[in-house]
Structure 1
Amino acid sequence: MIETIAAFARWSQLTANLILFGSCVFFAIIGSQKTIFETPWVMRLEKGFPWLAGAVLLGLIGILATTTSEATANLANFWSPAAWLKIVQQTQIGHIWVARALLACVLLGVILLFRRIHRERWHYFLWAGVASLPLIAGALMSHSSADEMSFQAVAPYALHILFAGVWFGALPAFLFILYSNHSEPGKPSNLTIANYLKKFSAIALPAMVLLVVTGLIVTDRLVETFYHTLVSSPYGWLLNAKLSILAIILVIAFQARNKWLPMLLEGNTQQNNEGVIHLKKWVGIEFILALLLVLIATILANTLPAKHTMIENWPYPFRFSISATWDEPNVQEMVWSGVVLFLVALGTVWLGAKNNWNKMKRILVPGLLGISSMAIALPPLAIEAYPETYLKPTVPFDAISISNGFRLFSEHCANCHGPQGKGTGTIVDPEVRDPTDLLTEEHTAKYTVGNVFHQLSQGIPGTKMPGFAASLSEDDRWDLINFLHALSRGFDARLLGSMIVPESPVIASPVFNYSASDGSDGNLKDFRLQKNVVLVLFSWPQSKERFFQLAASYDRIKALNTEILAVPIHALNEQELQQIVSIAPFPVVTEGWSEIKDSYWLYRRVRTVPDLSRKGMFPGHMEFVTDRFGYLRARWVAQFEGFGWQNISALTLQLTQLNQEGEIMPPPGDHAH
């Protein structure tokens, strides 16, 4: 019940505000002659302005009441002004609501102030400007501003609403003109109607184009790269419904502009009247559809955005992926053939209009060509999908998960895939496919993490790969996937060296929790946007000389906005720890070291030592540099790369270079993709 009241409050408030704004814009555009403001149809529409402004304010009160009830999970607070006041005083939503309510009061006051005086054209410009302010303030409550309250995030949504108002808000004015009584003095002639609509059409067309453009920008931000959600989530279905209604409205607007409006300007009286009849009918339908469109838009604005939607059950046995199929035989030829045929289909639309084809032919020919083009272009891009294909990991990609996945892999998978995932297990049966190389082969285009989860859970037909749904928990399976993800990233990390590649962050550093000898604790992410981190994986006492060197240079390194974290690769006894602490002025990790060691060991490889056979070597000393944005930028493996950072100046040069870089990519996400 509360949800229904909330939806009605948001819809009525937005609809009233849009009509006020759009009607005033319309009057400002056509009002070159002052006498128009004294005509009965204008005066009749203006009588509704105070009521519309009141509806804006009343709708905002309804929004506050329902928001309070939902936020406090207490239905009684719907009627409690005291509870409303707490929301207003203590929340950002409440502060924005106050701004919207004040602007709505200003709007009502301005309309009442100027309504009874002789109207000038500039009054409508003023009303339109004041009516736009609650709409702009409402953009601060949008999904666009939820992730980032900035001009770049809010401006496209605010412009989208204003362009919608320019079009939608003017429709009632159109209808008032068209339905003016013939017996009324001052009733506009058909030619006058056409001139009014022509003036507005010059503004309405670019407004509609910009409405679509800003809508695409907003949608892209709320969908990001997860376009599959458009056909598998409530947000997607609502958006599809909105776009379908908008397509019908655009067709009506096209007909009105290019067919029925010219009938008022040219031809005989019969054509004039026919044009008016069509406009009355279809602009009325357009207005009803627009009301429905605004209702869907308000529901959409309060539905979980597509980019945050968890698709737990993909309903189709296939998905489309250009990256996974583009290099397959004949795919490019088929796709481009389909694109060409689709362009031909669009050409037949123009050809049918030019040659006055009958209605059946104008629909049938482009329709058949369009369907044929998709039948040619889309199947080559389709690949197999599972219910879990777009499932997102529920376990973060961190050292604990990777380490647990390492243990599970060794226990359940290494017998076939080999200890390093190279697919080295022996399969005697020639009918059974060899184990997959999980280390060096690229699988990202064809295999989403959801696909891998499905295969881990259900097994792979035609192979010895069993399903683990019965033997491993869901979290354990995600841990295995995180390990495989780190395994693949680790192989890619062989391209790293002791010198960073400028402005090229690619590999995310596995995050971890730790406690240290100096009493400090935290997470690697705590250093983001603040400091670089030099992670030193060491063995004792083999790394003693390096510790003396780092200790002597610690102040110099700290001055470069960098922290050192030392991580043992073997358990330390109390005596060893005391020896290290007496040397090291930087934190030595005492809890969490095992998970960190397991994770960063996967990133040990260098180009000259790929280390792919057997269990793999474990260098006695490795150092990694993570930049302040969370990316692994350089690595020195003492056993493989010689002198390296023993020259402290070589290390400080890399840190200096990192400090000169700005943010190139946003910090990496918390989950594997």
Structure 2
Amino acid sequence: MYLSLAAIRFLLSLPSALAVGLLLLPRLIGEDGGRFKPAVAALALVRAVFGFALLYVTARAIFPADRPIEFDTLWEFTVNTSVGNAWIGTQLVAFLFAALAAARLFVASDLLDQVTLWVGVVLIAIVSVTGHAIDDGLPRWTQLSFLLHTAAGLTWLGGLLGLVWWMFTARGKPPEVAAQLAERWSFIAKVAMAIVAVTGFAIAWENVGSIPNMLATPYGRMLTLKLVFLCAVLLAALALARYITRRPEGEFNFAWYSKVGAGESVFALALLSIAGYIAVITPAAHETSLYWPLPFRLSYIATWGQNPAMFSPIWWWGIAAVVLAIMAALIWWTPRTRQYRLYATPAISAAALISLSVSFATEAYTDTYDDPTQDYTAESVSRGLAHFQENCIGCHGAQGEGNGPLAKDLKNQQGLLVQPADLTAPHVGTHTIGDIFHWLTHGGQSGVMPAFREQLDVDDRWDVINFLLMMSYSNRARFMSPQPMIQWLIAPDFALIDPEENATSLFKLRGVPTLISFARCGSSNGDPTARAASVKIAHEAAKAAGVNQVTIYDAACPQEAKAREVVHPKAVETAYSVINRYPNETPSEEIEEAHFLVDRSGYIRARFRTFAPDDGNTQKLSGLAAELAREPLIEISLHSH
């Protein structure tokens, strides 16, 4: 069905683009364009008629395959959906364009020509609203980018096809007229392509989301192919532009210019076909099934960021890149070798770039850029901890430090001892979550860790990964204190109880700092009276500082000290216990008392153990809350770390 939609969009865009081109080109050199009037009228009519095919194919793609599409069903779909309303708007403009183009066959008017041209430009621009641009969730600047991108791109395509048509049929035209048309069209094409480049970047930023998605998703791979065709188009355009500036006075090679322009047009039509296809498939940023096709990826953190030993392979590739870059510069600037620089310098520069890339290369898998099926929430972390304890502590140990009871006897297929990974070590951050998912699914790199796809389903594996993300920070988290730290630890989200349904999760409290308070006032450890007083002080301090507060208290804690409560308190306590570590203290899944201060962007920035009248923590909380409130709000992904 995607192919049918793409084909219809191609057949919609091409006639209207060519019609606009044939309207525009004669105006550039003062021709009346009479010889193109029948063609423009026919193209406009074809565009209007094909619009009905677009409606049917769109409805067929949305309705279940076993449901017949009758007239009443199609009418209801058209008038009662945003997609149908968008189609009505574009179709009205299409018929207006066809009527104006037909009127030009009987009325000779410069004003009519201008109105027809601008209506045609509007028509090719709004073709985007029948694709991804109709998405109300997109920012306004992205929706505007779609319109500008389509208008500029199709104007350029139509003008290029029209120029080739003009050149092939320019019987008896003076060379200077052809040269004037080529020069003026070249200027318009440059402006159009500049708009296409800027708006294309904006659209890709919203719809692709990341550089890896360019290769890991169908949308991204098609966009990459589109860029390849664009490079071919630009090379042909460069050849035409060079000819215009270097042609002999009074001469113009119609045949050569037409053939090169025709070659450029072939690549341009390929661009249009790809654009029609990616306009109807799932954007890369929304794709959940990612497939990384290369056995490597580029990463600073996993290579140079690990401070590799001097003259390791990473160093040698980096040195090679520097040496080759110097050689390329010397060949370019040394007088004796300048005769070779047009060929040698680009080739050696390419070799330098490849060497530099290899120095940043690290192993990758088909799952490396997979998106999680489970959000980074406290509930997911709690489930992941349970799976970890059931399947992993034998090797990795209860605290994930690689010291489980089976660790000392693990051997690979070659009989060599293998130490399980320390999951709290910094190296965990050098891998993507997709890498970890791959190892959980297919087994570890060393061949010792077994595959867990039979024991854990897909969601279970992502729960384990969410737990490991928190586990990897547990060593650093031991030193959290009332002193503010940099933004590095994202607070796992969790569901809240809110009678007014205004803030149903921790994520929705972002914009204002939040104090997450845990306390077991009925615990036999410590002084119950002092703990009850502590949570009261914490509550009043949070209220005075103007921060949100979420409390996970047991029944023995004072009712007046409670603030927003959570839906799954035990899961939240278990999850946050992973990072509630202190030096030289035994970890526990129960938090006697702790208060985590989360900034307005969602990062944990400080931790208070207790509050007392004379410990100064109330003043520290107030000052830190005021400081965090002045910081800019950062939009972060729950898996950005």
The TM-score by the shorter chain falls in which range?
0.7 to 0.9
Aligned to 2:92, the other structure's residue is in SS state helix
1:287 matched to 2:287? The reply is: no
Of the three residues 71, 87, 95, the one matched with 2:62 is 71
Output the amino acid matched with 2:156. Answer: W
In structure 2, stretches of 5+ residues that fail to align are 309-314, 523-527
Matching residue within 200, 203, 209 for 1:224: 209
SS at match of 2:597: strand
In structure 1, the partner of 2:42 is: 51
The 2-side partners of 1:586 and 1:437 are apart by 38
CA contact (8 A) 1:498 1:634 kept: yes
Does the alignment pair 1:254 with 2:238? yes
Supply the distance in 2 between the matched residues of 1:190 and 1:56 (Cα, whole angstroms): 34
Q: By how many angstroms is 1:526 displaced?
A: 6.4
Q: Report whether the alignment pairs 1:160 with 2:149.
A: yes
Task: Indicate the percent of aligned positions where both proteins have the same amino acid.
Answer: 21
Q: Distance in 2 between matches of 1:325 and 1:64?
A: 52
Correspondence 1:297-312 to 2 at 5 A = 297-310=275-288
Give aligned pairs, total.
618
Would the aligned equivalents of 2:541 and 2:622 in 1 still touch at CA under 8 Å?
no
Question: Which residue of the partner structure matches residue 453 of structure 2?
Answer: 469
Given the superposition, is the C-alpha separation of residues 241 and 617 from structure 1 closer, same or farther in structure 2, using an over 3 Å criterion? closer
Query: C-alpha separation between the residues in 2 aligned to 1:667 and 1:379?
Result: 30
C-alpha contact (below 8 Å) 2:142/2:202 kept by paired residues: no
The corresponding residue for 2:318 is 332
1:162-205 CA deviation, whole Å, 9 max, x = no partner? 322332111233233323364xxxx4212211122122223323
Q: Which moved more, 1:279-288 or 1:487-496?
A: 487-496
Secondary structure at the counterpart of residue 444 of structure 1: helix
Which residue in the other structure is 1:9 paired with? 8
Instruction: State the shift of 1:656 in Å.
Output: 4.8
User: Distance between the aligned counterparts of 1:17 and 1:525, measured in 2?
Assistant: 50
Contact 2:442 2:450 in 1 (8 A): yes
Shift of 1:299: 0.6
**Counterparts of 1:657 and 1:81 in 2: how far apart (Å)?**
63
Q: Of 612, 622, 625, which aligns to 2:594?
A: 622
Q: CA deviation at 1:618?
A: 5.9
Q: How far apart are residue 108 of structure 1 and its match?
A: 3.2
Report what 1:175 is aligned to. Answer: 164
Residue in structure 2 matched with residue 379 of structure 1 by the alignment: 358
Name the residue aligned to 2:634: 665
2:370 alignment partner, one of 391, 404, 418: 391
CA distance in structure 1 between the aligned counterparts of 2:239 and 2:471, rounded to whole angstroms: 59
| Alpha-carbon shift at residue 524 of structure 1 (Å) | 1.8
| Deviations 1:133-159, CA, capped at 9 Å, x for gaps | 233333344446637433321233333
Q: Is the 8 A contact 2:512 2:600 kept in 1?
A: yes
Whether the 8 Å contact between 1:139 and 1:157 is mirrored in structure 2 is: yes
* Aligned partner letter, 2:93: L
Which residue pairs with 1:30 in the alignment? 29
* Aligned pairs for 1:513-592 within 5 A: 513-514=495-496, 523-525=504-506, 527-528=508-509, 532-541=513-522, 542=528, 543-549=531-537, 560=546, 562-568=547-553, 577=555, 580=557, 582-584=559-561, 586-589=563-566, 592=568
Secondary structure (helix, strand or coil) at the match of 2:408 reads: coil
User: Could you tell which deviates more after superposition, 214-223 or 143-152?
Assistant: 143-152
Q: CA RMSD in A?
A: 3.9
Q: Choose the corresponding residue for 1:196, options 173, 181, 197.
A: 181
CA distance in 2, matches of 1:413, 1:304: 37
How far the C-alpha of 1:110 sits from its partner, in A, is: 3.9
More displaced, 336-345 or 405-414?
336-345
Residue 623 of structure 1 aligns to a residue in which SS?
strand
Does structure 2 conserve the Cα–Cα contact (< 8 Å) formed by 1:232 and 1:314? Answer: yes
Structure 1 counterpart SS, 2:161: helix
Contact 1:405-1:479 at 8 Å conserved across structures: yes
Deviations along 1:426-470, one digit per CA (max 9) or x if unpaired, are 63689424332221323323x111221232344435575444334
Checking the alignment, whether the CA contact within 8 Å between 1:581 and 1:588 is kept in structure 2 is: no
Q: Is the 2:291–2:367 contact (alpha carbons within 8 Å) kept by the matching residues of 1?
A: yes
CA distance in 1, matches of 2:589, 2:365: 38
Letter in 2 for 1:334: A
Please tell me the residue identity of whatever aligns with 2:518: L
What secondary structure sits across from 2:426 in the alignment?
coil
Residue 460 in 1 paired to residue 444 in 2? Answer: yes
Over 3 Å counting, the alpha-carbon distance change for 1:527 and 1:369 in structure 2 is: closer
Amino acid across the alignment from 1:293: L
1:390-469 residue pairs with structure 2 within 5 A? 390-425=369-404, 427=408, 431-445=416-430, 447-460=431-444, 462=446, 465-469=449-453
Instruction: Quote the residue 1:486 is aligned against.
Output: 470
Q: CA deviation at 1:566?
A: 1.9
Instruction: List runs of 5+ in structure 1 lacking aligned partners.
Output: none
- Kindly indicate whether the alpha-carbon contact (under 8 Å) linking 1:19 and 1:170 is maintained by their aligned counterparts in 2: yes
- Measure the CA separation in 1 of the matches of 2:437 and 2:296: 16
Choose from 490, 494, 504 the match for 1:508: 490
- Contact 1:27–1:124, Cα closer than 8 Å, also in 2: no
CA separation of 1:520 and 1:221: change in aligned 2, threshold 3 A: closer
Q: 1:211 to 1:302 in 2, by over 3 A?
A: same
Report if the CA contact (8 A) 1:420-1:616 is conserved: no
CA distance in 1, matches of 2:321, 2:146: 34
Task: Give me the TM-score of the superposition, normalised by structure 2.
Answer: 0.83
1:474 is aligned with what amino acid? Answer: V
**C-alpha deviations, 1:25-46, integer Å up to 9, x for none?**
4334333xxxx21xxxx21212
Q: How far, CA to CA, are the matches of 2:402 and 2:222 in structure 1?
A: 45
Partner Cα distance (2:437, 2:202) in 1: 33
2:78 pairs with 1:88: yes
Q: Aligned in 2, Cα 1:375/1:588: closer, same or farther, shift over 3 Å?
A: closer
**Using a 3 Å threshold, how does the CA distance of structure 1 residues 300 and 458 change in structure 2: closer, same or farther?**
closer
Deviation at 1:288, TM superposition (A): 3.2
Query: Contact 2:396/2:423 (CA < 8 Å) preserved in 1?
Result: yes
Secondary structure in 2 aligned to 1:386?
coil
C-alpha spacing 1:512/1:232, structure 2 compared with 1 (3 Å): closer
Q: Tell me which amino acid in the other structure corresponds to 1:153.
A: T
**1:532, CA displacement in angstroms?**
4.9
Measure, in 2, the Cα distance between the counterparts of 1:150 and 1:652: 36
Q: 1:105 aligns with which of 95, 115, 126?
A: 95
Measured in 2, the distance between the counterparts of 1:495 and 1:116 equals 84
* CA pair 260-550 structure 1, distance change in 2 beyond 3 A: closer
Q: Is the 8 A contact 1:144 1:221 kept in 2?
A: no
Alpha-carbon distance in 2 for matches of 1:429, 1:176: 73
TM-score (norm 1): 0.80
Instruction: Report if aligned partners of 2:325, 2:348 keep a CA contact under 8 Å in 1.
Output: no
